[in-house]
A = this chain, B = another copy of it.
């Protein structure tokens, strides 16, 4: 069939191992530091928070990390996910570019997050963990972990950023349907939460605060661990399953990408699509360009500082070197809740620092516009986060049109927008504004970076 639009891998070609970019980078990732001593931490320091198997995945230098069979068994429910050629979008844009997208909205939670929720729940169960505590913003991660917990029989407790908890009851309802407990953060259940509420009892919350609460609870019980849905090496590692599939699927399509586009919040879906291709490039296989697209209102890669910083507001986490807006930075409200984090994954930051990716930032209205163009052409309505990648891809396709070049563009459509229709209602009603972050707020947050920041 000459007009093929879908590239589907047989179940037997579901990857047997995740890909670890650390093995192929020219320089190692800067060490993680203990906030008290300023010295590099070792696996044992992380044991109160994570099962040892995940800690080992966090620090391994092996290129391939085997995917456990029970994880592959769950993956097989929706993986390998489809890769599409966006022929109708190409036609609508009248571009000579070939546009492909990997679609992660087919997972039960509707996004790429189950790719890491499942192995995290599995390794916790295997390590005898009774309960996992985590944070969530808009709820994509929380609902994915809730699902994975219900499949493996691990209790899930989710600190959900309060403003999302109130404004977005539907992903909360999904978590509760899977049997998870969902708490609005800041809460009275932790010291971190109580301290913040003492200063401001209507605090809307932030991912940094919710992380503090989750970490605090996890550190207190031996049978409870913490889980993070992005940022960490092992999370990015798990997401490479989608990029590895995409590599095989592009081979089926008979061409390789010239440009790969992903949206970045914590960085995991971008890493998932990009790192396997970057590894091949580093090993001499291609000239592919990587483009990370972030929201202009929370632009860690394009406007943050590359420095050691905390992952949370209460400074309970170790220090990691990353592009950061400062752990106290609060972005203005915008609809891509999954991209509202002050820092960027250390590994994505490191790759950026090595000059191996390009970053750009977009305001939200243009992203929704791109999302509507995409929906009308391809039939799938993207999540607001994914719209950043859609716009990145469309902009590249329009550049190709201007330059008369038939490049191959691949992007990751990390989730569907079925839970996010209020954002589309606001967009269609002309109610969205393109807010920028507050320069003074950013300056203050950066001034508050720890002394050992550089």
Contact residue among B77, B84, B372, B421 (Cβ-Cβ distance under 8 Å from A379): B77
Q: Mark A364-390, 1 if CB is under 8 A from B, else 0.
A: 000000011001111111000000000
Residues from chain B with a CB closer than 8 A to the CB of A421 are 169-171, 173-174, 177, 419
Check: A56 CB closer than 8 A to any chain B CB.
Answer: no
Contact residue among B110, B176, B378 (Cβ-Cβ distance under 8 Å from A418): B110
Main secondary structure on chain A at its contact with chain B? helix
Compute how far the CA of A226 lies from the CA of B230 in the bound complex, rounded to whole angstroms.
Answer: 48
Check: A45 CB closer than 8 A to any chain B CB.
Answer: no
Check: A425 CB closer than 8 A to any chain B CB.
Answer: yes
Identify the stretch in A1-9, A19-27, A239-247 within 8 Å (CB) of chain B at 4 or more residues.
A1-9
Check: A454 CB closer than 8 A to any chain B CB.
Answer: no
Contact A178 B428 (CB under 8 A): no
What's the least CB distance linking A83 to chain B, in Å? 12
A244-295 contacts to B (CB < 8 Å): none
Contact residue among B106, B109, B169, B422 (Cβ-Cβ distance under 8 Å from A106): B106
- As for how many copies of this chain the complex holds, the number is 2
Nearest to A12 among chain B residues (CB) is B1
Q: How many residues of A contact B (CB 8 A)?
A: 46
Check: A88 CB closer than 8 A to any chain B CB.
Answer: yes
Check: A151 CB closer than 8 A to any chain B CB.
Answer: yes
Nearest to A80 among chain B residues (CB) is B8
Contact A77 B5 (CB under 8 A): yes
Compute how far the CA of A176 lies from the CA of B173 in the bound complex, rounded to whole angstroms.
Answer: 25
Residues from chain B with a CB closer than 8 A to the CB of A419 are 418, 421
Given known pairs A5-B77, A169-B421, the reply for A178 and B147 (CB within 8 Å) is no
Check: A62 CB closer than 8 A to any chain B CB.
Answer: no
What's the least CB distance linking A396 to chain B, in Å? 22
Check: A202 CB closer than 8 A to any chain B CB.
Answer: no
Compute how far the CA of A179 lies from the CA of B381 in the bound complex, rounded to whole angstroms.
Answer: 12
Compute how far the CA of A421 lies from the CA of B378 in the bound complex, rounded to whole angstroms.
Answer: 25
Q: Which residues of A contact B (CB under 8 A)?
A: 3, 5-6, 8, 10-11, 73-74, 76-77, 84, 88, 106, 108-110, 114, 147, 150-151, 169-171, 173-174, 176-179, 371-372, 375-381, 416, 418-419, 421-422, 424-425, 428
10 of the cross-chain contacts (CB-CB < 8 Å) are A5-B73, A6-B77, A88-B151, A108-B378, A170-B421, A173-B422, A173-B424, A173-B425, A177-B371, A178-B375
